[in-house]
Amino acid sequence: MATPGLGKLSKNPSGPGGEFRDVIVEIGLDSTDNIIVNPDYFQISKSRNEEVRWVCIQEHEHATNGPCFTVDFEKNGSPFYESQFSSDAPVSGLAMRSVLPGPKIYNYTVRIGNKTLDPGGGVQQ
């Protein structure tokens, strides 16, 4: 189930009543080894207690000596209590209480090896 530009929703059994809470953002490499992020802009809902789950879609053995990708909100702040995530710690948690829903785009950087890509995300009511 996908909504254009919003990401896929997954069933989170810890959500109240088994409600959908995770917005899935897929991270991988294309056929020319460039980073791809789908969707390139996520949007979470504060009122529905949504959180982002970044998921590796690369067809490879996941390394045991470190994450296969990292996500850093270092450009203009993070809407979450943490600012760094990875394939080892892929769930954002809820948006901070102090973050107001609105048009602000939170830019973040995805790193795989020495490659980077700068998608974005936002918070709605």
Average of pLDDT values for 67-84? 96
Is residue 18's pLDDT more than 90? no
Into how many domains does the chain fold?
A: 1
Helix, strand, coil percentages for the chain (3-state, nearest 5)? 0, 45, 55
Closest by CA position to 110, among listed 25, 15, 21: 25
Is residue 14's pLDDT more than 70? no
Supply the range of the domain harboring residue 104. 2-124
For residue 86, the tally of other CB atoms under 10 A from its CB is 16
For residue 46, what is the domain's CATH number?
2.60.40
For position 3, what pLDDT does the model report?
Answer: 40
**Which residues contact residue 4 at a Cβ distance below 8 angstroms, ignoring those fewer than 6 apart?**
39
